[in-house]
Structure 1
Amino acid sequence: MTWPGLLAAPADPSQGPLGQLMIALGALGGLTGIGAVVGLLLQRKKFRADAAQVVTNTALTLVEPLRARVDELQKETSEARAQTRNARREADQARQAASRARAEAALAQEEVTELRATLRRVTAEMARWRSAIFAPTATVDGLRVLVASDPTGHRDSP
């Protein structure tokens, strides 16, 4: 074959050396494409693993501040509960003290009532004695008898 024979187009394009070269290059290109597809399919698991790792890292980055905030809120809740318990305890003590104060006030009121009644009796008796002292017919013996007896007329023993 001569040089012009190489360049001459054969009747069947796949018959000449150039045609065979083209077939070989086409097959090689096809194999390269298939290899790329196979490589992509094989690396698909790696892509998924890489994506899962990125998602996990992102989630951990977002979760850590939330976890810290949750811990902080739990601490605040614990403190608030302790304060509530203390406040309830103090309120119970205040209620007990108020109850005791009401009982003492009731006793004091009874004593005041008794003292007022006694004061009225003593004032009435003093008014009676005063009238007896300033009476024109008053005698020392009569006043002694009056003072020695109680308001009901009972006589004290000397």
Structure 2
Amino acid sequence: MTAPPPPPPPPPTDAAAAPQWLQVVLSVLGVLGGAGGLATIAAVVVKRGKFRAEAADVLTDTALTLVQPMRTRVAELEAEAQTIREQLRASNERSRRLQARITQLRTTLDRWYAMIVTPDASLESIRYTVREDRRQLRTSGEVQTEPTGDR
């Protein structure tokens, strides 16, 4: 006896013609239990938004916690910088006044030197000129002793 020939392959059905992803989705829905599974998926999607909001709140609180000490430090540094700027302005003003005084004294010394080296200079005329220059400086109020800060 001869074996009957194998049956022909079944014709393609609509299920075989459906895309693979649709078959996977339908299988997952069947495994999850239909409507109960869909409710679970919906709950997870809704809670995911809540989790994101909570995560954003935590990140915001953490950022504020880190930023506040930095703001305090920046305020301290700005105050310190302002103090240093004021000290620098005062030092520059003092330096300008001292520089002017040095220029004035050099001019006086140059005049005295020129007077001393002249051929007809006498001790009496030199003393008189020095005395007059000193008196003039005292009366004009230009002779002021300034603390140097060195001592």
TM normalised by structure 1 equals 0.52
Shift >3 Å, 4+ stretches: 26-32, 116-120
Change (3 A) 1:87 1:67: same
- Partner deviation per Cα, 1:98-152 (whole Å, 9 max, x = no partner): 11111111121123224x63459xxxxxxxxxxxxxxxxxxxxxxxxxxxxxxxx
Structure showing the higher helix proportion among its residues: 1
Structure 1 residues 59 and 28: CA distance shift in structure 2, 3 A: closer
Unaligned stretches of 5+ in structure 2?
1-29, 124-151
Is 1:74 equivalent to 2:83 in the alignment? no
Counterpart amino acid of residue 74 in structure 2: V
Superposed CA RMSD: 2.4
Instruction: Give the TM-score of the pair, scaled to structure 2.
Output: 0.55
Secondary structure of 2:35's aligned partner:
helix
Instruction: Map 1:72-151 onto structure 2 (within 5 A).
Output: 72-114=76-118, 117-119=120-122
CA–CA separation in structure 2 for the residues paired with 1:93 and 1:100: 11
* Aligned residue among 24, 31, 34 for 2:35: 31
Shift in Å at residue 50 of structure 1?
0.6
Consecutive unaligned residues in structure 1, runs of 5 or more: 1-25, 121-158
Q: How many residues align?
A: 94
Q: 1:58 aligns with which of 56, 62, 68?
A: 62
Letter in 1 for 2:120: A
Larger radius of gyration: 1
Aligned residue identity for 1:86: A
Q: Percent identity?
A: 33
**How much has 1:79 moved relative to structure 2?**
1.2
Q: Aligned in 2, Cα 1:97/1:112: closer, same or farther, shift over 3 Å?
A: same
Structure-1 separation of matches of 2:32 and 2:57: 36
